[in-house]
Structure 1
Amino acid sequence: MSECQLNHSVDQLREEVTTSVLQRWKREGRLITMTTAYDAVSARIADPIVDVILVGDSVGNVCLGFDNTPPVSLAMMNHHLEAVARTRPQALLVADMPFLTFHLSPEDTIRNAGGFLQRGADAVKLEGGAKRVEMVRALVGCEIPVMGHLGLTPQSVSLMGGFKVQGRNADDALRLLDDAHHLQDTGCLAVVLEGIPAELAARATETLTIPTIGIGAGPKCSGQVLVFHDVLGLTEGHRAKFVRTYTDGFQLLQEALERWAVDVRSGAFPASQDSYRLPEELRDAVANWLPSRSI
């Protein structure tokens, strides 16, 4: 894509994205883009380009050094959400409800989700199907928009026995379809489908009136989401099959930092153009100054 084409496509996405806009795009067949942001810098990079920004609890394993998402607390999520919200994105801003913030009671769930909206989120996302209907209903009843999440749900990774593709047997596949419709009927604005066979995601998308956002769910969803750091090649180690990287950001940033370190060690940085100067009339006074010997 040429620079002119890229600028044109970015300009087309500058409309403020709302939940009703997503519903319209689903009807029109316009594919939706969604990525994560955990701080103001990543939000400013992503906002002119994508339709939905997710402050994901994936911040735990992507940025905070955890092996998975359950250790991420509500306080951590509030911290990262506030940083992203300060950029006032035009994209729809969605915040993940972390582990144990929507499991105990509708009252706790409403309080925690309402805190996200008070901090600037447009909607919240929570994992699970039929067992979460009571919580989704409570949130929607309080005018809190909810995005669902089915399939490979990272907060349940211990129960699932690891990061494994879901919905590969008949019972699980049909249960996922039922769960997707339960979430729609309860008022979810969209549902993320993660780590499921492409045919199953296609059937869910075909039968739902709300958008589906796929991640490792094939090409027939209403849109796609990938982690910001995965797209830009900022993560190390194993990458899932569905992750496509568009640059080696980790190496590029290391090379830039290395060039700076070389300049410092060689004395090439800072140069005169990188330095502030005294007014000319003060230079002699400073050059001739000696420390006082008295206290």
Structure 2
Amino acid sequence: MSTTFTIDTATSRATPTPAPMKRLTIPAIRAAKGGTPLVMLTAYTVRMAQLLDPHCDMLLVGDSLGQVIYGLPSTVPVTLDMMAAHGAAVVRGSYHAVVVIDMPFGSYEASPAQAFESAAMLMKATGAAAVKLEGGTAMAETVAFLSARGIPVMGHVGLTPQAVNQLGGYGARGRTPEEAAKIVADATAIADAGAFSIVIEGVVEPIAIDITRAVACPTIGIGASAQCDGQVLVAEDMLGMFERTARFVKRFDDLSGHISGAVATYADDVRSRAFPGAEQLYPPRP
């Protein structure tokens, strides 16, 4: 898979192509610690990347695509090939944001060497600037291994969806002192190992505040705290594409309602033969 080709704006539906601009860098993201909060959303396609890119500091090609795009029950079945295909699309559709791509379950846990092979494949196939992996202290050696070899790593602690079978669900984490202390220790370990940023998901708020104060790299909250150094949501959740969302999601629009209404109007026009009209047809040449 290659990302060397560009979109033909004369024929592609994914137009107009935004004017190229200088893309943000990993050092710029790291330097944002304690400053204006970083904006991050998920993206899985060229067109969504184009729409989100001007407003975001980072675009995450999340393994949440398993559920959002493919209707899978969890992120566990997602493959490297799936991530590579969607990651390449997002890179092609963006010019400004740092593109981070999730490493799917089973592609990095066995050893640092396995993680490097998987991460190198994803970065070569997509052009993404960084990878994200889940886990804390157990993954610190892997984070250090990748970072030392030129692969920027975003960490992910708290509620880790790839471990849903072990966790027993998607409930908030850190409700006991012991679990809270472990999450803080996990974040500190991967920050010390070289992570350039850490996603904190689904934890009771004081944990996110403690981590943000304890680590030198930016923290990105999702169901964590407004005191994190940035925030991330699944774009389709915040746009209102799904009826059911997590507690931590704010619906900023109701795209599902807009789409349903538009399709209902289209269906009525087709059935009444109001569409296509003269404006959509090709008359014979005189």
Aligned length: 265
Mean CA deviation greater in 82-91 or 157-166: 82-91
In the alignment, is the contact (CA less than 8 A) between 1:157 and 1:163 conserved in 2? yes
Match of residue 33, structure 1, among 32, 36, 39: 39
The one of 169, 189, 199 aligned to 1:192: 199
Residue 21 of structure 1 and its aligned partner are, at CA, apart by 1.2
**1:39-75 residue CA offsets vs partner (Å, 9 max, x unmatched):** 1111111101111100000011112111110011111
Paired with 1:72 and 1:267, the residues of 2 have a C-alpha distance of 43
Distance 1:61 1:79 in 2: 16
Cα distance in 2 between the residues matched to 1:235 and 1:116: 29
State the partner residue of 2:67: 61
State the AA in 1 paired with 2:253: T
State the 1:89 CA deviation. 3.0
Q: CA deviation at 1:15?
A: 5.8
Distance 1:204 1:68 in 2: 27
Structure 1 counterpart of 2:233 = 226
Aligned position for 2:274: 268
The answer as to 2:28 corresponding to 1:21 is yes
1:119-268 to 2 correspondences below 5 Å: 119-236=126-243, 238-268=244-274
Q: Distance in 1 between matches of 2:65 and 2:95?
A: 19
Q: What is the distance in 2 between the residues matched to 1:70 and 1:56?
A: 12
Whether the aligned pair in 1 keeps the contact of 2:53 and 2:94 (CA below 8 Å) is no
| Unmatched segments (≥5 aa) in structure 1 | 1-13, 281-295
SS at match of 1:191: strand
Q: Is the helix fraction higher in 1 or 2?
A: 1
- TM-score in terms of structure 2 length: 0.89
Q: SS at 2:33's partner residue?
A: helix
In the TM superposition, structure 1's runs of 4+ consecutive aligned residues that sit over 6 Å from their partners are none
Aligned alpha-carbon RMSD (Å): 1.3
Q: Please report the TM-score for the alignment, with normalisation by the length of structure 1.
A: 0.87
**SS of equivalent residue, structure 2 residue 85:** helix
Equivalent residue, structure 1, for 2:78: 72
CA distance in 1, matches of 2:68, 2:108: 22
The superposition leaves residues 26-45 of structure 1 with CA deviations (integer Å, 9 ceiling, x where unpaired) of 14x21011110011111111
